[in-house]
Structure 1
Amino acid sequence: MNEPEDGRRPAEGEAGATVRRSGLRNPEAAVRGLGAGTLALEAIVLLLAIQPIRILGGDLSGWGIGLVIFLAVVAAVLAGCMRRGWAWGAGTALQVLLLAGGLAHWSLTALGVIFGLAWAYALYVRRSILG
């Protein structure tokens, strides 16, 4: 960083000043953590939702349970892949698949809306922090 000869630090907007978009030390890691946390929470909720759906709804068949388990595994794998740029797009596709899972049971649509909104917020935070 180019400091003036008088030893003071340049103010934001002056020549030689570095502009930081956030006060975070490592904004990329913070955003990855938000995305990974959202997907990990989604995986846990999906797995925990199987039994209540079976008891209360009653019409979730074997392939529907398999779909929920598949979506939970995909969410967990994507949570571990957040260092890759494609994981954000894949996370968005996962939210669409969860919404489409509403064809198996209405409660999956409800979970899809909830986690779709959480994912949209994570994407908004990512865009606002990283630019």
Structure 2
Amino acid sequence: MTEHSHPNEAGAGTTPEGPAGHKPGEARERELQLSLGGKPSGLRNPSRAVRGLGAGTLVLEALVLLLALMPIWVLRPPGGSMAAVTVALVAVVVSMALTATLRFPWGWHLVSVFQVALLLLGFLHWAFAVVGVVFGLTWAYVLYVRRTVAR
């Protein structure tokens, strides 16, 4: 029996590391990814990272919508209704709920529809249009990152 074949020895049963500490299958996987025209992102789980970026964007959008409640209330027309405030609160809830849908491919499309709807709510109050433009552009960037990183 050789000294490396003893079952009680430290490291027994683990996959041997190759050059620079890489596992044997990693080099082949990297070559395959490069041959398909993609650059390795360096992330362990790129799709999870992009979902986190999308969820963070939606949470930030919900926070901005909450902060927009005061200008919406103060700048409403004299004798105006609370419809814009109610719509803003509903948009906050929808934005937070949409974070859970990002694990599905259709969830990304649903968030894109939400961005367009928010932009169209600018007809109700201009603050919605401002938030819609800013986060519409931000969402377009998130979709670009998703396309390039999480192939």
TM-score category (smaller protein):
0.7 to 0.9
Equivalent of 2:61 in 31, 35, 42: 42
Percent of aligned pairs with the same residue?
Answer: 44
SS where residue 31 of structure 2 aligns?
A: coil
- Among candidates 38, 53, 67, match of residue 72 of structure 2: 53
Aligned to 1:3: none
Please tell me whether residue 101 in structure 1 is matched to residue 115 in structure 2: no
Q: CA RMSD in A?
A: 2.3
Q: Alignment partner of 2:103: what SS?
A: coil
**How many residue pairs get matched?**
122
Give per-residue Cα distances to partners, 1:3-24, cap 9 Å, x unaligned. xxxx7679x7x89834263111
In the superposition, the TM-score normalised over structure 2's length comes to 0.72
In the alignment, structure 2 segments of 5+ residues that lack a partner are: 1-17, 34-38
Residue equivalent to 1:70:
90
| Structure 1 segments (4+ residues) deviating >4 Å | 7-10
Residues 75/126 of structure 1: CA separation in 2 closer, same or farther (3 Å cut):
same
**CA–CA separation in structure 2 for the residues paired with 1:122 and 1:97:** 18
Aligned to 1:117: 137
Whose RCO is larger (CA < 8 A, sep 6+)? Answer: 1
Could you list the runs of 5+ residues in structure 1 that have no partner in the other structure? Answer: 1-6
Partners of 1:16 and 1:58 in 2: how far apart? Answer: 57
Task: Choose which of 31, 35, 44 in structure 2 pairs with 1:17.
Answer: 31
Q: Which has the larger radius of gyration?
A: 2
What TM-score do the two structures reach when normalised by structure 1?
A: 0.82
| Amino acid aligned to 1:86 | W
